[in-house]
Structure 1
């Protein structure tokens, strides 16, 4: 009999706690699709500033990126591999652009706008004079 009384006392205490904390009504009043305990899944506060790349990113900028770790985290080895590949691709493209620019500069002589040849029969103009007005 004493075990029964202890059991009843524990059940009554549990019911009093549930009713007193308003837990039972919250469970039964939840809307469709809403979870009863969603307060703990807010976005965590970041320990690092936002990850921003400059407008003209260089390979060294990729090396300086640091990501904040969130609740679920990330596979660091995968992120490091992707960032290494990105840095190498940017460096390769920068070298290719520099090579193409030097080739273009080597093949085309630099001319000022005044050095362009005039069409045949066109009167020569001095660079400091204005063009003749139309008749």
Structure 2
């Protein structure tokens, strides 16, 4: 009885593998990512000081955090330069200082 049962299980396993390999049985091992945190993205009119507060979900198949951080620093620098240019053109003496991403007091959690 046991050898017959093992033979049936082996046959079923071979059949499933064959169906998956030929594409007749669709299997999606990587499901869509699930959002686990509220949106901490940029506001509609972002300022350089808003960039350090941006947060992303973590996932096994997500983005490389060092690359995301590098792009966020570039974005903060670009926005700060634009804010300084606008303040300069308007004649404002107190132009906003760029946000320091290494300063934990400048980040919102």
Short-chain TM bin: 0.5 to 0.7
Task: Give 1:36 shift.
Answer: 4.2
Q: What are the ranges of 5 or more consecutive residues in structure 1 without an aligned counterpart?
A: 1-8, 104-135
1:61 to 50, 57, 60: 50
Q: Is it true that 1:47 corresponds to 2:71 in the alignment?
A: no
> Quick one: distance in 2 between partners of 1:35 and 1:72?
26
**Measured at CA, do residues 13 and 56 of structure 1 come closer, stay the same or move farther in structure 2, by a change above 3 Å?**
same
Gaps of 5+ in 2: 93-109
Give the conservation status (yes or no) of the 8 Å contact 1:60–1:87: yes
Give, in angstroms, the shift of residue 17 of structure 1.
2.0
- The alpha-carbon distance between structure 1 residues 78 and 31, as it changes in their structure 2 partners (threshold 3 A), is closer
Structure of larger gyration radius: 1
Q: Distance in 2 between matches of 1:35 and 1:77?
A: 40
Aligned residues: 92
Q: After TM superposition, where is structure 1 displaced by more than 4 Å over at least 4 residues in a row? A: 22-32
Pairwise CA distance, 1:13: 3.3
Q: Distance in 2 between matches of 1:14 and 1:51?
A: 53
State the distance in 1 between where 2:33 and 2:42 align: 22
Q: Which has the higher contact order (CA 8 A, sep 6+)?
A: 2
Superposed CA RMSD in Å reads: 3.1
